[in-house]
């Protein structure tokens, strides 16, 4: 059977995604950027919590606290990566 179109290259980018991550980025770079993004979200949620009242404020503070936990985990992985890289040298 003859196909209408050839197979796409194996490294083709998905067409249904707005954002993608470069495949050649290492873990440290990805985690460092994730850490910076989390810090930004934390700052936004912290500021927003002072601008709203009642149940909405409770929800924003909940998001802020969950984000702080995620930030701690990402920072810990970065610390572990830094320690393992230092001991490897």
* pLDDT one-digit tens code per residue, 12-65: 666 787 888 888 988 889 988 999 999 999 999 989 988 999 999 999 999 999
| Residue in the structure block whose two tokens are 């919590």 | 49
Whether 77 and 34 have beta carbons less than 8 Å apart is answered as: no
**In the prediction, which pLDDT does 86 show?**
78
How far, CA to CA in Å, does 36 sit from each of 13, 14, 40, 59, 78?
Answer: 26, 26, 6, 22, 12
């Amino acid at each position: 059977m003859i196909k209408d179109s050839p197979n796409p290259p194996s490294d083709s980018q998905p067409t249904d995604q707005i954002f993608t991550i470069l495949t050649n980025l290492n873990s440290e770079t990805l985690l460092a950027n994730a850490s910076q993004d989390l810090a930004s979200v934390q700052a936004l949620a912290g500021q927003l919590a002072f601008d709203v009242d009642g149940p909405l404020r409770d929800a924003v503070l909940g998001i802020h606290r969950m984000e702080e936990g995620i930030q701690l985990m990402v920072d810990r992985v970065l610390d572990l990566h830094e320690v393992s890289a230092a001991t490897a040298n």
